[in-house]
Amino acid sequence: MAATQSDVLAHVVQGGAGDWRQHDLGDHLAGTARRAGAFAAQFASESWAEMAAQLHDLGKAGADFQRYLRTASGYDAEAHLEGKHGKVDHSSAGAVWACGQWRIQGTLLAYPIAGHHAGLPDWIGGVSGLEARVRKLDRLKEAQVNGMLALLASLRPPTQPPKVDPDHPEDVHLWLRMLFSCLVDADFLDTEAFMDPARVELRGQEQPHLGALKARLDAHMAGLARGADDSPVNRVRCQVLASCRDGAELAPGLFSLTVPTGGGKTLASMAFALDHAVRHGKRRVVVVIPYTSIIEQTAEVLAKVFGPGVVLEHHSNLDPARETLAGRLASENWDAPIIVTTNVQFFESLFASRTGACRKLHNLVDSVVVFDEAQMLPSSFLKPILQVLGTLVRQYGASAVLCTATQPTLQGRIGTQGAVFTGLEGVRELMPDPTGLAVSLRRTALRLHSPDFTPVTWGALAEELAEKDQVLCIVNTRRDCRELHACMPEGTLHLSALMCPEHRSDLIRMIKERLKAGDPIRVISTQLVEAGVDLDFPVVYRALAGLDSMAQAAGRCNREGKLGRLGDVVLFTPPKPAPSGLLLKGEEAARELLRVCPELALSLAPEAFTRYFQTFYGKVNSFDEKDMVGLLVKEAHLAKFQFREAAEAFRLIDEGDQAAIIVRYGPHRERIERLVEALRFAGPSRERLRALQRFTVTLPGRVVQELHRQGDIEEVQGFWVQVADSLYDDRAGLCADAIRFRPDLYTL
């Protein structure tokens, strides 16, 4: 659709026939305002979003930008004769104008306006900081907003922010991000509608509504019930499902779902989410999972229920073969009925400053969010995480479910002494009797290898494990995994993060097949199998760790309850304690509980985890390690925020000095070779990098540099690629011998 002829342009685009189409700036501002207002109406901020949208491209009306647009696009070949041209800052004008007109309300508006391309700014940040931009107020002349004077005259000061509780100053930064999300998504969509109408049609494909998806799940669950054995485990799973469906009638808010491993949480929590969404008019369901390996498994389960293309996976490890263009477009703003994503993607977006990361946030309004394995929420960021979660529920109509077998203590007073804060309020448990449920679903007996915690040598432990036909042994570090595996008989499987994701997926698939066939199998693994990987061994050994980790390990034993007896879970003390930090604090807290209340700890009852997490949190030095409160809350009343600094600091996985190596994993070697050669000669692309990510191993940067010095890896288009054949072993992953000088490589 061609825009009308105008002297003030927002965009121009050349068609295939060489004709030019113009996007009038007034039309763009009005179109963006309509979209942004509609998005923000979901949280009573329509007028704020419309105001931000009407001002966001104000600077495009200036002569400098108009000259730049005509020159850079090639629309006007003579424009360069009028003066210098180059990239022109068009984002500051509207922000500065708002600050000058409306003081603190204008300053609040200035953040999303000034950041709609480069991301939300810091208040103090050199020349790019909002404070420095506001100082340009006296330079904003009427000539810079040529043609927009009528628009400016029509604008009225906004009211007080509607989604800010005076008792909760932490609300303000999320409200601004929500406004920013509405503005950015509206700006992208309005521009896309002009520039690429075909893309708009693809994005606008009709999706099934939640009521239809609920009907599919109902039919699937009915089919499972008809085909299931009348076993004690399946009877308990039916009770869990019924309780979740009963709980869906409750008013929206915060919920916990405490169900032992193997109790059917994945489908039961989805049943709650869909029933609750339909009952209370929620718009979508978001499932948040700590690890990409669990996402793959969960997505497979949900695909069987809802069919292909319904569930949107949004995570860094997605195989491009499973990604459609429509899905890619939906991942930009989470415009899908069901989303499965990671803790990292979800929470880092809630503290992000970049446009791409924030664009989806307004679609969390009126959603049901299920947090799988909620005990994995990192304690070093627990305070800001629980604050933002509380705000989502209290101010934006979200319902949240904390779903786990090992429920952490997230309500009331958390921590001791200097590290204390108030957690969530009003969390309702969906299971009527979690303790009774734990007794009903008990399929394992835990015992200490040594009641006095005497360490066992790897050699002695290997001899003990070799006597078992089917056994899983989980250790704390990659180094421990290597050392124990080296003591085991030929044919023992090794599983750790020194293996690329595709290798791990292949191996887990093989383990399941051999277990199902009843074949002898021994596996030495790190904790990557503990959460969400459905393995079912008759015997599991677990190195002493946090009680939640040991309980998750127990969930890989007698999972289906088919042994006719309790499965055997043995907790042993390894030759060396866990690495210092939170892992060691978890081990120490578990030791304390095992010494004082051994029967309670070994029962894995809900009370045991309450006691454990109280002890563990008492050892934590800080629940806000990067001072999110100081960056985002302390001066909120003055409209002073350090958005970019906070976004850089809020990293759930502290990659530090880390680098990924593309390895040549044997079964897929030909495909990897083709991808690497394409990378070498054609350069990186989204699809190519997504595919290669399945074949990467992440190592400390200093180790990567030494491998490069040794000639074991090379750099290809800015990415490290394996050269030496000996570097990667198709049984155990990255080879220890290749890094002769770095024993510290094998810590986690």
667 has a pLDDT exceeding 70: yes
Amino acid at 427: V
Residue 74: CB atoms within 10 A of its CB come to 11
pLDDT for the residue numbered 14: 79
Q: How many CB atoms lie within 10 A of CB 520?
A: 10
* DSSP per-residue letters across 560-604: T--SSSPEEEEEE--SSPPPTTHHHHHHHHHHHHHHH-HHHHHHT
| Helix (H) or strand (E) segment spanning residue 306 | helix 292-306
Inter-CA distances, 650 with 124, 338, 405, 551, Å: 18, 26, 27, 29
How many residues are given for the chain? Answer: 748
Q: pLDDT band for position 81 (50/70/90)?
A: very low
Q: Compute φ and ψ for 44, nearest 5 degrees.
A: 60, 35
Spell out a b/e string for 562-582, using b for 16 or more CB atoms within 10 Å of the CB, else e: eeeeebbbbbbbbeebbeeeb
pLDDT at 323: 43
Helix (H) or strand (E) holding 368: strand 367-372
Tokens of 513: 């097949």
User: Has residue 78 got a pLDDT over 50?
Assistant: no
pLDDT of 748 reads 37
Average pLDDT over residues 516-521: 95
- Please compute the mean of the pLDDT values over residues 368-397 and round it to a whole number: 95
Q: Could you tell me the two tokens for 69?
A: 């647009």
Amino acid at 682: A
HEC assignment per residue over 376-443: HCCHHHHHHHHHHHHHHHHHHCCEEEEEECCCCCCECEEEECCEEEECECCCEECCCCHHHHHHHCCC
Q: What is the distance between the alpha carbons of residues 637 and 655, in angstroms, rounded to a whole number?
A: 33
Listed range (205-209, 346-350, 390-394, 488-492) with the worst mean pLDDT: 205-209
Rounded Cα distance, 352 and 115, in Å: 12
Alpha carbon dihedral 480, 481, 486, 487, in 10-degree steps, equals: 70
Q: Region 227-233: what's the mean pLDDT?
A: 82
Arithmetic mean of pLDDT over the chain: 87
The closest of 426, 437, 523 to 473, measured between CA atoms, is 523
Query: Helix, strand or coil for residue 127?
Result: strand
In the predicted model, what is the mean pLDDT of residues 638-643?
95
The single-letter DSSP state of residue 489 is: P
Q: Quickly state the pLDDT bin for 655 (edges 50, 70, 90).
A: low
Q: How much is the pLDDT for 332?
A: 76
Look at residues 173, 303, 138 and name the one whose alpha carbon lies nearest to residue 639: 173
pLDDT digits (tens, 9 = 90+) for 311-354: 888 754 444 444 444 545 556 778 889 999 989 889 999 999 99
pLDDT of residue 63 exceeding 60, the answer is yes
| Residue 411: pLDDT band with limits 50, 70, 90 | very high
| Cα Rg, the chain, nearest whole Å | 28
Spatial separation of the C-alpha atoms in residues 462 and 479, rounded to whole Å: 15
Distance CA 22, CA 13 (A): 7
Quote the percentage of the chain above a pLDDT of 90.
59
Residue 330 has a pLDDT of: 53
pTM for this predicted structure: 0.88
Nearest-10 crossing angle of helices 210-227, 292-306: 90
Span of 75-79, 365-369, 648-652 with lowest mean pLDDT: 75-79
Sequential DSSP letters for 34-59: HHHHHHHGGGT-HHHHHHHHHHHTGG
- Give me the amino acid identity at 563: L
CB count within 10 Å of CB 364 equals 25
pLDDT at 292 over 90: no
382 in Cβ contact with 414 (< 8 Å): yes
Nearest to 458 by CA among 572, 607, 614, 374: 572
Rounded to whole angstroms, the Cα distance separating 136 from 132 reads 7
pLDDT > 80? residue 293: no
- Predicted local distance difference test score (pLDDT) of residue 20: 81
List the one residue out of 293, 318, 434, 301 whose CA is nearest residue 373: 293
Q: State the number of CA atoms in the 13 A half-sphere of 362 facing the CB.
A: 28
Are 619 and 589 in contact by the 8 Å Cβ rule? The answer is yes
SS3 assignment, position 438 = helix
Amino acid at residue number 200: V
Torsion over CA: 495, 498, 499, 501 (sign): positive
By C-alpha distance, which of 380, 313, 292, 400 is closest to 654?
380
Residue 165 near residue 176, CB atoms below 8 Å: no
Contacts of 330 (CB under 8 A, 6+ apart): 203, 312, 336
Top pLDDT among 566 and 85 is at: 566
- CA dist 6 and 4 (Å) reads 6
User: Vertex 267, ends 262 and 270: CA angle to 5°?
Assistant: 135
Kind of pairing, strands 9-14 and 20-24?
Answer: antiparallel
pLDDT at residue 288, as a whole number: 94
Tokens (6 digits) for 161 = 């922010």
Highest mean pLDDT among 123-127, 142-146, 632-636: 632-636
pLDDT at 498 over 70: yes
* Phi, psi dihedrals of residue 450, rounded to the nearest 5°: -140, 115
Per-residue pLDDT tens over the stretch 669-707:
999 999 999 999 998 887 888 889 889 998 888 888 889
Q: What is the pLDDT of residue 569?
A: 97
Q: Which amino acid does the sequence have at 207?
A: Q
Strands (E), 514-574: 521-525, 539-543, 567-572
Residue 132 corresponds to which tokens in the numbers above? 């420095």
Best CA proximity match to 643, nearest among 119, 78, 283, 171: 119
Backbone angles phi, psi at 489, to 5 degrees: -65, 160
Q: What is the pLDDT of residues 459-492, one digit of tens each?
A: 999 999 999 999 999 999 988 999 999 999 999 9
Secondary structure (3-state) at 264: coil
pLDDT of residue 747: 45
Stronger pLDDT, 578 or 397, i.e. the higher one: 397
Calpha distance 425→302 (Å, rounded):
31
Here the tokens at position 267 are 């489908």
Q: How confident is the model at residue 4 (pLDDT cuts 50, 70, 90)?
A: very low
Q: How does strand 20-24 pair with strand 254-258?
A: unpaired
Tally of CB atoms within 10 A around 458? 18
What percentage of the chain carries pLDDT values higher than 70? 89
Q: For residues 302 and 356, is the Cβ–Cβ distance under 8 A? A: no
Residue 441's CB is within 10 A of a number of other CB atoms, namely 23
Q: What is the pLDDT of residue 261?
A: 84
State yes or no: pLDDT of 140 exceeds 70. no
Comparing 79 with 506, the larger pLDDT belongs to: 506
The pLDDT, as a whole number, for residue 243 is 97
Sheet holding 444-448, edge to edge: 444-448, 567-572, 539-543, 470-474, 521-525, 493-495
Q: Is 159 exposed, middle or buried (0-12, 13-18, 19+ CB in 10 A)?
A: exposed
Least confident residue range of 345-354, 451-460, 651-660: 651-660
